[in-house]
């Protein structure tokens, strides 16, 4: 491996993907994205990324831009990726929520909302929305408005005053939340009204676009 880092490709399993599919790669799983794919990639907290091969490109952060020895030391056992797409659904008249991935570091759900609907956002915790379809607006405070559309990424702070969502067309987004374990987990969670005050914060648009595939 030290003299032929491209040999790592011989040990990777190629999985054809389609729009809408979900795969969960546990920490320590070697992986690469094929040409033409645009993904919403949520990563577990980490200060390092080990690069085993970079298609003969070099980077300045290490010798030849690779971390072969460190990467091999942290590779986990072979896993069956198909088992990680475990969906569950909650549906009402106006929306459908599909649980895609749940792990100790994050939860990903796909939310579908019909168009021309306004509804209170019922929780008081930090949430990330990755918009995949449609157009709408986040309403907050006495007069705050943040428009969103396909490809936008938005963070909703926990302390957001009177937040509502208004859909202008049929919408869908990936909703990412962080499960937090604590000694208080046995107690009932306070509702949103108890957690919010009159001095709320604004939603945060990350100015990230998934409309164009990255240049490889």
Catalytic positions? 51
Sequence-distant (6+) residues with CB within 8 A of 91 are 97
Burial of 41 (0-12, 13-18, 19+ CB in 10 A): exposed
Residue at token pair 């645009």: 38
DSSP code string of the chain: --S-GGGGGGGPPP----TT------TT----PPTT--------S-S----S--TT---TTSGGG--HHHHHHH------GGGG---EEEE-SSEEEEEEEE-SS-EEEEEEE-SSEEEE----S-EEEEEEE-EEEEEETTTEEEEEETT-EEEE-SSBSS-EEEESS-EEEEEEE-----TTTTSPPPPHHHH--SS-B--EE-----SSPPP-
Q: How far apart (Å, rounded) are the C-alpha atoms in residues 45 and 169?
A: 34
């Amino acid at each position: 491996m030290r003299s032929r880092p491209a040999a790592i490709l011989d040990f990777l399993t190629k999985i054809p993907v389609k729009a809408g599919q979900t795969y969960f790669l546990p920490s320590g799983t070697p992986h690469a994205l094929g040409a033409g794919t645009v993904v919403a990639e949520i990563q577990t907290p980490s200060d390092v990324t080990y690069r085993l091969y970079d298609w003969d490109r070099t980077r300045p952060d290490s010798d030849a831009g690779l971390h072969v020895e460190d990467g091999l030391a942290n590779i986990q056992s072979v896993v069956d990726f198909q088992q990680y797409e475990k969906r569950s659904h909650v549906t009402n008249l106006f929306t459908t929520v599909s649980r895609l991935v749940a792990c100790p570091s994050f939860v990903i759900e796909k939310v579908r909302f019909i168009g021309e609907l306004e509804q209170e956002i019922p929780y008081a915790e930090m949430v990330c929305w990755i918009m995949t379809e449609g157009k709408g607006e986040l309403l907050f405070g006495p007069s705050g408005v943040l428009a969103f559309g396909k490809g936008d990424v938005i963070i909703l702070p926990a302390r957001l005053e009177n937040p509502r969502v208004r859909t202008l067309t049929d919408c869908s987004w990936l909703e990412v939340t962080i499960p937090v374990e604590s000694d208080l987990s046995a107690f009932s969670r306070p509702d949103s009204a108890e957690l919010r005050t009159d001095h709320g914060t604004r939603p945060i648009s990350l100015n990230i676009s998934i409309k164009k595939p990255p240049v490889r």
